[in-house]
Amino acid sequence: MANPSRPRTAALITTAALLSAVLAGCGGSTGDGDLTAQKLDWKDCPAPSEAEGGGSAPSPLPHGGDWQCATMKAPLDWSRPKGDTIDIALIRARASGPADKRIGSLVFNFGGPGGSGVTTLPAFAGDYSNLRTRYDLVSFDPRGVGRSAPVECESNSQLDVYFQQDAVPDDKAERDQFLQRTKRFNAACERNSKKVLPHVRTTDAARDMDLMRQVLGDDKLHYFGISYGTELGGVYAHLFPKHVGRAVLDAVVDPTQTPEQGALGQTKGFQLALDNFAKDCTSKTTECPIGDTEQDVKDRIAKLLADLEKKPIPGIFPRQLTETAAINGIAQSLYSKDFWEYLTEGLEQAYDGDGKILMLLSDSLNGRSENGDYSNLLAANTAISCSDAKPRYTTDDVQRKLPEFRAASPLFGPFMAWGMLSCTDWAVPGAADHPDVSAPGSAPILVVGNTGDPATPYEGAKKMADALGKGVAVELTYKGQGHGSYDSKNKCVQRAVDGYLLDGKVPKSGAVCS
């Protein structure tokens, strides 16, 4: 979830950067060339661009070897496949096992929309080392993201102002300011990225993946999609069911929901995660430093946010921790149980007037690096989400729905409800109410849902399985916490996923891991 106020989800794109902090544009015409025949020129990977999040070039692989990067040409407009092209940035780690055991490439999308796969795959490479024994691990920056014809909206200084705004307006003056700020951001996206904006839908990215499959030399697409990556995988299966190889969807988006329904579902999911955090803190033998009971923990957080709405506290100079930034920071920490200790420490400090840790968590969610540069996560997230989703909501819609959102979560509800206005002034019309993922004739797709997932609530896995169609989805439930299942390092989940991807062993549908 690039921003909780925007009703789409993301994986933990900036986990590695957060932990250390806390403790190509459009090309020319292709003529009559066949893009499926292009040869990729794999080279050592450069340092990530600012749009990808910055930082250093990826370190050597854990068990030897170097990361390789390349660019693939794809049509800017898939309805004109021989027209202008864009560059799609790719990264790979070659299979570590014997050549005669290699299956092919395993393509990853880690979520967003708007997350850079080129920077994320190296950050999580250790988690997938077993899969690398038989696959080249491959990821990419989807169109509009990172180095792949990135959507550009506002400058770093403008984004600092954007994320400091009051995203939970309480009166007409605050509502007008919120609407004006959102409209300015959307207008900047159109002004700076007019050529690419109509061509960043999930269906476009799915067609890029099928081109990628062919250019990589695979008869089938073997795929691992996480968070929004599950929606992308479902759309790919719908468009190219006969090309689906072994595919896993983890942290599953509900494909049947409108943006409003998705935002309400996330509101409930983050409230559940907050409840679980409070219960965990107060159930330990040592004293919980942020409250005596579960309700006390939540009441003190609510009071902190109310106080910040009136008077922000110092965050990271010269910025202050506002109510909005604090909500963002709390949301980021709920993506993983590993982050709960940072939330506890951040709240302790905030109660003492120091907002640094919550600000760092907020920055991580928003794609802001320590030097003040932003990735294009927010720009790409907005562009893809608004191009995909047809509904456009009004202030009256939000006002009418606010009681339901507040009932779902007093903390997150209003924030998520006002976020539904993100696409109201978007330049490109949305494609549909929700994506079509029906995939009759596809190979089995393993769908993994986590009962404690805040960003993609567990119920979405069943909805995705049903929408894929009878005989396609194989459901696996993980009774855990955090966003996603495989990266929880639960052995039961990893055995099931590895067994399917590496050996073709389809788990029994309905199996449960805890």
Catalytic residues: 227, 453, 483
Whole-angstrom CA distances from 53 to 154, 214, 259, 366, 370 are 15, 29, 27, 11, 10
Largest CA distance in the chain: 70
| Residue of 131, 135, 129 whose CA lies nearest to 103 | 135
Q: How far apart are CA 12 and CA 119, in angstroms?
A: 12
Q: What is the DSSP letter of 143?
A: T
Over its C-alpha atoms, the chain yields an Rg (Å, rounded) of: 22
Whole-angstrom CA distances from 132 to 125, 194, 486 are 9, 39, 15
CA 46 to chain CA mean position, Å: 23
CA 470 to chain CA mean position, Å: 28
**Coil, strand or helix at 157:** helix
Q: How far apart are CA 142 and CA 204, in angstroms?
A: 9
Question: What are the residues whose beta carbons fall under 8 Å from the beta carbon of 291, sequence distance 6 or more?
Answer: 278, 281, 282, 297, 298, 299, 300
Q: How far apart are CA 87 and CA 208, in angstroms?
A: 11
Do residues 17 and 53 make contact, with C-beta atoms less than 8 angstroms apart? yes
| Residue of 227, 207, 280 whose CA lies nearest to 10 | 227
